[in-house]
Amino acid sequence: MRFTGIDWAIVAFYLGITTLGGLLCERLVKGNLAHFVVAGRQIRKFLLAAAGSAAEVGLIAVMYLGEEAYARGFSAFMLPVLILVTQAFIGFSGFCVLRYRQTGAVTMGHYAEMRYSSSFRMFSGAFQFLAVLLTISMFPIAGGAFITYFLGLPANFQVGGATLPTVPLVTAALLAPVIAYTMAGGTVSVAFTDYMQFVMAWIAMAIVTVLVLADCSWGRIVGAVQQTYGALGFNPLLQEGKQGYGIYWLGFMTLQYIYGALVWPPINLRVSSSKDPKAAKQMYAIMSSLHPGRCGMIIVWGLAALAVVPTAVISLEHLPAGYDRLVRMPYYLGTLMPPIVLGLFAAGLLAAEMSNVSAYFMATSTVGTQDILFPLLRRRGLSSATKVRIHRGVILALAVFAFCWGLWYGLNTTLFTYLMLSGAVYSPGAGAFLTFGLYWKRANAVGAYASMVAGAILPLVCIVARFESPNTNYILGFLSYIVAFAGMYAGTRIGERLGVKARLVQQPEEAAVLQR
């Protein structure tokens, strides 16, 4: 146990302030569903970018980026390269995001209904819900594992004669306050706390990067990567067996980053919450300058862990399979920091965890309610306040499921690859019906159904079959996009022959919107 009294005080103060602020946001929601879900569509560009950055680079990202750096060497910097290229592309061109925000859709499901049909909304919503559920279920356990190994907590606690495992307890303790304030204030709470966490996490990350480089020189890091991985550790296009990335990975990731940034619920909900289409577009441009450096700092920590603690013996008690490499970086960081800095960094980490979990749980519950539950209950005429209560119940149910799934499911690949595959259950099909729907007037519901089904099959096969070869996962992931887009086109043409007409969504002129 490395924490001192002052470290606990820093963490308790930070947690208390953030949770209290998040809970107080309930007053701004006033039982209004539009406020709860999309913050009244009043969020401007800097708050969108700061909150988006906090939500997208949470503790789960700290974990998987650290693991990627540990397992791939400098090649892991290819991830921030892709983030920069894809987000700058969306931010400066307005690809999809401008037209999507102009439709006034609240969720992707809502857009699916406006452009295709009511039944397709529920159908695509179910895929989206499944994909995000599989993804977010790894967040709490990864966060719990990070904090446990970072603080050097024992594997078990003794409470009144009973022996309790640490990782599940820490996981539950992390989850509880986040779920409480997300249930209270919805997207308003998430935006407020994400901003607070953005500030805190950024300060902590800057301090830790300086400490890491003071402890482990750049030359030592380069030497360790050379010795461990050789050329594979530097050139991301090379691949041998399970080592390195390769060209298939690059193809899959490029598509996954573009469409993940457009259709993935937390970021998509942020687009819907933006004050206008221009603010949504600018959010991506600003994030393209924030994200690469932020991810780069974490990768530097993972590389330093590779140089300093590659052979340390670390107990993996109470963790699912596949967590050895994941806990190396938190273990290293925990040994590195003096008191006070340790407390500040732990508060920053908790900030990252809370912002990430709250944004994802809010977005997932929005999909579950807006796209599946409320359309089913439409005839009952539920009041706005009742819907907010149902929404809160769904958030709680998701938290319970995620806690149990994370403790049960073991990893046979890197955490990052798992997350990309679970995301790909939804992204290829949604990317196809979004792009065709916004840019091709003839796109119809038959094509949308075909794209959704075709895009989900291959990633689901990867998750269930747990292929040993990484290339198999990358190739199938890449192919899922090709199949989804081909399905959208072919389905639309078949639909036309069957007499299915395309629905069109009225959109104001782009130029007029941009002049606001």
Q: How far apart are CA 164 and CA 161, in angstroms?
A: 10
Tokens 């916004």: give the residue.
438
Q: By CB under 8 A, how many residues form the interface with another protein?
A: 72
* Residue type for position 511: A
Tell me the chain's radius of gyration from C-alpha atoms. Answer: 22
The interface region with another protein, picked from 41-49, 168-176, 244-252, 464-472 by CB under 8 A, is: 41-49
Contacts of residue 379, Cβ cutoff 8 Å, sequence gap at least 6: none
Q: Which is nearer to another protein, 123 or 485 (CB)?
A: 123
Q: Which is nearer to another protein, 256 or 370 (CB)?
A: 370
Contacts of residue 171, Cβ cutoff 8 Å, sequence gap at least 6: 140, 141, 143, 144, 145, 403, 406, 407
Measured in whole angstroms, the distance separating CA 265 from the mean position of its chain's CA atoms is 9
Q: Dihedral of CA 386/392/396/402: which sign?
A: positive
Binding mask 382-421 for another protein (x = CB under 8 A): -xxx-x----------------------------------
Q: Which of 89, 192, 252, 433 binds another protein (CB under 8 A)?
A: 192
Binding mask 359-378 for another protein (x = CB under 8 A): -----------x---xx--x
Q: How far is the CB of 180 from another protein (least distance, A)?
A: 20
Tokens 């039982």: give the residue.
31
Residue 33 binds another protein, judged by CB under 8 A: yes
Name the pairing type of β-strands 239-240 and 162-165. unpaired
Q: Which of 11, 22, 45, 359 binds another protein (CB under 8 A)?
A: 45
Judged by CB under 8 A, the chain residues 203 through 222 that form the site for another protein are 206, 209, 218, 222
Cα→Cα distances 155→8, 64, 163, 232, 415, Å = 19, 22, 10, 35, 22
Q: Which is nearer to another protein, 110 or 325 (CB)?
A: 110
Residue 231 binds another protein, judged by CB under 8 A: yes
- List helix spans (H) across 97-239: 97-103, 108-115, 118-136, 139-151, 166-215, 218-229
Q: Which of 228, 235, 471, 472 binds another protein (CB under 8 A)?
A: 235
Q: Which is nearer to another protein, 421 or 502 (CB)?
A: 502
Q: Quick check: 66 and 302 in contact, CB under 8 A?
A: yes
Q: What is the DSSP string of 87-100?
A: HHHHHHH-TTHHHH
Q: Which is nearer to another protein, 152 or 508 (CB)?
A: 508
Judged by CB under 8 A, the chain residues 268 through 327 that form the site for another protein are 286, 289-294, 296-297, 300
Q: Which of 11, 50, 63, 178 binds another protein (CB under 8 A)?
A: 50
Rounded to 10°, the helix 118-136/415-423 angle is 170
Judged by CB under 8 A, the chain residues 87 through 126 that form the site for another protein are 103-107, 110, 113-114, 118
Q: How far is the CB of 3 from another protein (least distance, A)?
A: 27
Q: How far is the CB of 33 from another protein (least distance, A)?
A: 4
Q: Quick check: 452 and 124 in contact, CB under 8 A?
A: yes
Q: Which of 51, 136, 258, 462 binds another protein (CB under 8 A)?
A: 51
Residue 138 binds another protein, judged by CB under 8 A: no
Q: Quick check: 416 and 64 in contact, CB under 8 A?
A: yes
Q: Which is nearer to another protein, 110 or 318 (CB)?
A: 110
